[in-house]
Structure 1
Amino acid sequence: MVPTSVHGHVAGQAARTPDAIAVRDGSATLTYRQLDERANRLAHRLRGLGVGPETPVAVLMERSAGLVVALLGILKAGGCYLPVHSAYPPDRQQWIIDSSGAPVLLADLAKAGAGLPSAPRTLVLDEPAERAEIDARPSTAPEDTTLPDNLAYVIYTSGSTGRPKGVAVTHGDVLGLALDRCWDTGNHQRVLMIAPYAFNVSTYELWVPLLHGGRIVVAPPGELDLAGLKELVTREEITALHLTAGLFRVVAEEGPGWLAGVREVLTGGDVIVPSAVRQVHAACPDTVVRAMYGATEVTLFSTTAELRPGAAPDTCVPVGVAMQDVRLYILDDRLSPVPGDLEGELYIGGRGVARGYYDRADLTAERFVADPFAGGGGRMYRTGDLVRRNGDGQIEFIGRAGDQVKILGFRVELAEVEAAVASFPGLAHAAVVARELHEGEKRLVAYVVPAGEPPAVGTLRAHVKTVLPDYMVPAAFVLLDALPLTANGKVDRASLPDPEPDTATAYRAPANPRQEVLCSVFADVFGVERIGVDDSIFDLDVQSLLAMRLVNRISTTLDVELTIGDLFDAPTVASLDEWLGSAVPSQ
């Protein structure tokens, strides 16, 4: 009998290959038998707390083998897991738990030490007393009554109403993705888990290897720099990994040779730069680069394009063709198919279309609509993406139709960011747009009109950080006397001025050769004409990809070992020069 649940398939794999390694992190290795038994014990513990079919169980933990156990254990109990991103501000974490009605929060000591949101019941899984409580439970699986239409997880994404919205994904949705024939290449035997588990890419990183008898290699907690990523991929002999389009480009430009041992690199989540594909192919001709496209609402991936050496186009990398049992429609504003290679909005039906937004029938009705082409009461998801088919019949992404954008591979509703900015006291108006501040990389820019005394930009940014995760915080804040308007009274976003570099200190020139080198590297990476030794990276849009690029450039230019944590501890040229004094002699 074929299992109808995600955990049923994992249990089947455990029965076939009990001693094969299923999960590995820096301090723990679990075989399939050990993973299955530990998850069974946790499932019994959760059942005893009332967790049953579709009960949401919140999770706030570091990346680890224990996290994989927790997610699998929730499924075995019949519940659905609700990831809570540790980078979210406390109010946002609490709102997600409260709005979902989750009766249980699973945490670990690392997160508990930093403070946890409140829940009716919190289990700190690696706390000795709780560990003993779980270990006393049976290692056999509880009765499984899970059906394909039962929820597997709820992931919250940016919402146009000013609040995040939870996407409800079923076991059948996950199985459809994880058992797609595109994974039957043998390339996904050792998959790196590097994405935050609160984002949809974790669906691939978790369930594709486990449902194919492979191994999850869990990256250490926190931010990885390029040197750390290279060391991990090489040491663990990773065969496949997913890099967002932005990170893929950084790797391609900063030295992709270490990917040569990787059989397949997936990329997507934003526009894929053709030159980056060619650079990876030039360094790693035997590595398959696979473009992927999808959304949380359609269970991560819906299209795929295998990019072979010499096949990368000069202008646009296609996102490919439909995956197994997925239906793609390019429609006009009357829901009629557009002819030929004309532009239209992409709708997705068939496999993977989620149940909708958790406990939000109104929002579900806006984006999940009846599929008039399939019959049988099917639905399709309105992506909001403008696309066309090229001469080979592959989908090419053109842009967004609405106010939703991709920032660092994450989907962001501009309305939610505007609401957060406008909540700062003393503002008359606020508008947020996405601009290409660095070549090929979009950033958010907030334009604000004070009602009275202009606020300090640093104070405004600090306020927004208490409401939104870092990737949604605008890179620049521009104070205006008034927002430009169109003839019909709407904000004329095209007329908003380009932001100037946001530096809070007066320019001070470099005082020694090493500071001159650092100022030059900082200016090049941040795309500005001049950097002073007192200018802080925190005033220069230090998003994660730029931090990785900056650390790599400094490390290679000065031949020193530097981490992102070191950079954050010494965020100016002056402080970094002082820190480097113990690592490399002044030049």
Structure 2
Amino acid sequence: MENFSTSTTPNIFDLLKRRFEEFREYDALVHEDEFITYGKLEILVDLVAQRIRNEAPEEKLIAVSCSRSVKTIINMLGVLAAGKAYLPLDFDQPTERLAKIVSETNVRFGLQGLDSEDFASLSIKTIDGKYRESTLAPNYTSDLAYVLFTSGTTGVPKGIEVCSPSLVNLVNWQLENSQSGPGFKTLHFARLTFDISFQEIFTTLVSGGTLYIQDNEVLKDPYQLLQFIQKKGINRLFVPFIALQGLANAAVSYKIFPGSIREIMTCGEQLKVSNTIREFFQELRSCKFYNQYGPTETTIIVSQKYLEGEPSQWEDLPSIGWPISNVEMLIVSPEGKSITTMNKVGEIYITGDCLARGYYQNEELTNKLFVEMNLDGSGIKRYYKSGDLAEWNIDGSIKFLGRVDDQVKINGHRVELGEIEVNASKISGIVENAVVIGHFKDGQNYVALYYKTTGEDLKIEEIKEELRKSVPEYMIPYKFIRIEEFPRTGSGKIDRKTLKNSLAEKKTRKFPRRRMKQIIRR
């Protein structure tokens, strides 16, 4: 598969344009009984791009809804074809959160995936005009491809600006490290608000493969999802660890092991190889399994570990592997020195053709986390401080050790506990609260909220309902613990370590079908 350098391909859409003619008769998108060939996809994407140029010629950012449909994918591609950047908005998230994002970006125009998605409620004009030929050429002066909002410590989501050159580098690398090609079927699992969605979509379409779209009802249920994978002959999955664990549990329980699967990439949170995951891959003898790592600020994926050999011999906590092409990863001590030896823990710093532009209209945070330093003696470079702790393995791979701060992954989504605390503190009756992470016996994380109230009348369901107004479902705590007085450290701070230690899970959990239904909100 031909690659394109970032210097000659300023816009990520250029990679796909070259494929429309090459794969014209092949299926590009499939949703239920709807089949879209590459030839038809080119026409539909061009229609959307023309509408955008006609109705929003001066806009740089266009909102795109996140419903699971062929139209959503076409809208996303149409924005890029028009030379603009897309802003994914998930209408299943609280209106208050969406309103914050709209206010932050001042986005004025949007594209619906479903008619029921109401942009007007967010003061966004829906682009729905009829096609007419535009005399305006695509504007590629900006290399911004999308802005993705993640959890913020102040209670306000923060936007990350990801640009075409880094996306081109990622796609080129993935083309060389996957079997995907004409007729190769990839499941569209992640919603557009989850950055893996871009990897799913573009690495499939640029390789001439077929992207299979499925409704949430099937994706929520591991048993139904396994049946779908088997029936449609799906070849490739990109899934976070918790979804993979759910699939493995279901496969082992129901003895369903789809032989069509050739590749599984897990990403989004730390991989923990359980006994059921070992048994799952023991049965999938033709499937290659990859552990990928990367913060959103470094364009989705920056390292990969291929788990080869017998699953029974895999490590419980595999490394995150080695950097992808044109990316460097360093482990840096608290003193700001590059660590080159084993058994020394430091923070992962990342540089190369992967860095995001920064945080949307937040120069202070951008300058804090995207730093220019001479760490390896080869001159000043721009690095992203990941906040992830790691150490070197003997083979030169990187062993992930957790977070420096309170930012963690829940069900594949990055969550800063401070955002939950900020919104919990706004609830009438709560005078003090602390959010900590607990761990189930199978290694999965959950959120627990400790809170102190002014009285006894505040019910847990009331707290949940108030939180749902401002944070997504995956950020709603799993446990709520009312406390008379918080334990304190010597300096008077809440003793979070004591709180966390009190969350020891006492029960062995069974196949988590219910939790899977809560997390597939991509």
Please report the TM-score for the alignment, with normalisation by the length of structure 2: 0.90
For the residue of structure 1 that corresponds to 2:396, the secondary structure is: coil
Give the residue type in structure 2 aligned to 1:498.
Answer: S
Cα deviation for residue 42 of structure 1 reads: 1.1
Task: Call closer, same or farther: CA 1:34–1:474 in 2, change over 3 Å.
Answer: same
Give the residue type in structure 2 aligned to 1:486.
Answer: T
Give the residue type in structure 2 aligned to 1:191.
Answer: T
Give the residue type in structure 2 aligned to 1:286.
Answer: S
Report what 2:148 is aligned to.
Answer: 155
Instruction: Give the gaps of 5 or more residues in structure 1.
Output: 124-129, 502-521, 528-536, 549-563, 565-587
Report what 2:490 is aligned to.
Answer: 487
Mapped contact 2:246–2:516 kept (Cα < 8 A): no
Per-residue CA shift, 1:304-354, capped at 9, x if unaligned?
Answer: 011113265333211110001110000001221123112111011102110
Give the residue type in structure 1 aligned to 2:117.
Answer: A
Task: Call closer, same or farther: CA 1:141–1:442 in 2, change over 3 Å.
Answer: farther
Report which stretch shifted further, 64-73 or 364-373. Answer: 364-373
Per-residue CA shift, 1:180-217, capped at 9, x if unaligned?
Answer: 15644424632110111111110111111111121211
Mapped contact 1:368–1:382 kept (Cα < 8 A): yes
Instruction: Return the alpha-carbon distance in structure 2 between the equivalents of residues 313 and 340 of structure 1.
Output: 24
Instruction: Return the alpha-carbon distance in structure 2 between the equivalents of residues 287 and 87 of structure 1.
Output: 34
Report what 1:201 is aligned to.
Answer: 196
Report what 1:462 is aligned to.
Answer: 465
Name which of 57, 60, 68 aligns with 2:62.
Answer: 57
Mapped contact 1:476–1:499 kept (Cα < 8 A): no
For the residue of structure 1 that corresponds to 2:389, the secondary structure is: strand
1:293 and 2:282 equivalent?
A: no
Instruction: Give the gaps of 5 or more residues in structure 2.
Output: none
Report what 2:510 is aligned to.
Answer: 525
Paired positions, count? 503
Report what 2:238 is aligned to.
Answer: 242
Task: Call closer, same or farther: CA 1:33–1:370 in 2, change over 3 Å.
Answer: same
Report which stretch shifted further, 213-222 or 477-486. Answer: 213-222
Task: Call closer, same or farther: CA 1:323–1:82 in 2, change over 3 Å.
Answer: same
Instruction: Return the alpha-carbon distance in structure 1 between the equivalents of residues 325 and 135 of structure 2.
Output: 31
Task: Call closer, same or farther: CA 1:168–1:424 in 2, change over 3 Å.
Answer: same
Report what 1:267 is aligned to.
Answer: 266
Give the residue type in structure 2 aligned to 1:265.
Answer: I
Cα deviation for residue 243 of structure 1 reads: 1.6
Cα deviation for residue 108 of structure 1 reads: 3.6
Give the residue type in structure 2 aligned to 1:156.
Answer: F
Report what 2:386 is aligned to.
Answer: 383
Instruction: Return the alpha-carbon distance in structure 2 between the equivalents of residues 58 and 145 of structure 1.
Output: 17
Report what 2:228 is aligned to.
Answer: 232
Task: Call closer, same or farther: CA 1:141–1:491 in 2, change over 3 Å.
Answer: farther
Give the residue type in structure 2 aligned to 1:543.
Answer: R
Mapped contact 1:181–1:324 kept (Cα < 8 A): no
1:143 and 2:145 equivalent?
A: no
Cα deviation for residue 221 of structure 1 reads: 3.9
Give the residue type in structure 1 aligned to 2:41.
Answer: L
Mapped contact 1:150–1:170 kept (Cα < 8 A): yes
For the residue of structure 2 that corresponds to 1:180, the secondary structure is: helix
1:322 and 2:326 equivalent?
A: no
Cα deviation for residue 224 of structure 1 reads: 2.9
Mapped contact 1:348–1:383 kept (Cα < 8 A): yes
Report which stretch shifted further, 339-348 or 417-426. Answer: 339-348
Per-residue CA shift, 1:407-447, capped at 9, x if unaligned?
Answer: 11111001101001111012211100011145311100011
For the residue of structure 2 that corresponds to 1:417, the secondary structure is: helix
The percent identity for this pair of structures is 25
Report what 1:32 is aligned to.
Answer: 38
Per-residue CA shift, 1:109-155, capped at 9, x if unaligned?
Answer: 45337x863234123xxxxxx4xx43x334x99633425x6110001
Give the residue type in structure 2 aligned to 1:80.
Answer: A
Cα deviation for residue 546 of structure 1 reads: 7.5
Name which of 425, 431, 434 aligns with 2:434.
Answer: 431
Task: Call closer, same or farther: CA 1:13–1:187 in 2, change over 3 Å.
Answer: closer
1:5 and 2:11 equivalent?
A: yes
Give the residue type in structure 1 aligned to 2:323.
Answer: A
Please report the TM-score for the alignment, with normalisation by the length of structure 1: 0.80
Mapped contact 2:180–2:204 kept (Cα < 8 A): no
Higher RCO (CA < 8 A, seq sep 6+)? 2
Give the residue type in structure 1 aligned to 2:36.
Answer: L
Task: Call closer, same or farther: CA 1:442–1:309 in 2, change over 3 Å.
Answer: same
Cα deviation for residue 285 of structure 1 reads: 1.6
Instruction: Return the alpha-carbon distance in structure 2 between the equivalents of residues 120 and 465 of structure 1.
Output: 23
Instruction: Return the alpha-carbon distance in structure 2 between the equivalents of residues 214 and 8 of structure 1.
Output: 17
Mapped contact 1:183–1:208 kept (Cα < 8 A): no
Task: Call closer, same or farther: CA 1:179–1:56 in 2, change over 3 Å.
Answer: same
Instruction: Return the alpha-carbon distance in structure 2 between the equivalents of residues 107 and 388 of structure 1.
Output: 45
For the residue of structure 2 that corresponds to 1:381, the secondary structure is: strand
Task: Call closer, same or farther: CA 1:492–1:526 in 2, change over 3 Å.
Answer: farther
Aligned 1:307-346 pairs, distance under 5 A: 307-310=307-310, 312-341=313-342, 342-346=344-348
Aligned 1:353-502 pairs, distance under 5 A: 353-373=355-375, 378-496=381-499, 498=502
Aligned 1:65-84 pairs, distance under 5 A: 65-84=70-89
Task: Call closer, same or farther: CA 1:480–1:27 in 2, change over 3 Å.
Answer: same
Per-residue CA shift, 1:507-542, capped at 9, x if unaligned?
Answer: xxxxxxxxxxxxxxx995399xxxxxxxxx9xxxx5
Instruction: Return the alpha-carbon distance in structure 2 between the equivalents of residues 30 and 445 of structure 1.
Output: 45
Task: Call closer, same or farther: CA 1:380–1:425 in 2, change over 3 Å.
Answer: same
Instruction: Return the alpha-carbon distance in structure 2 between the equivalents of residues 438 and 4 of structure 1.
Output: 47
Task: Call closer, same or farther: CA 1:392–1:418 in 2, change over 3 Å.
Answer: same
Cα deviation for residue 255 of structure 1 reads: 1.6
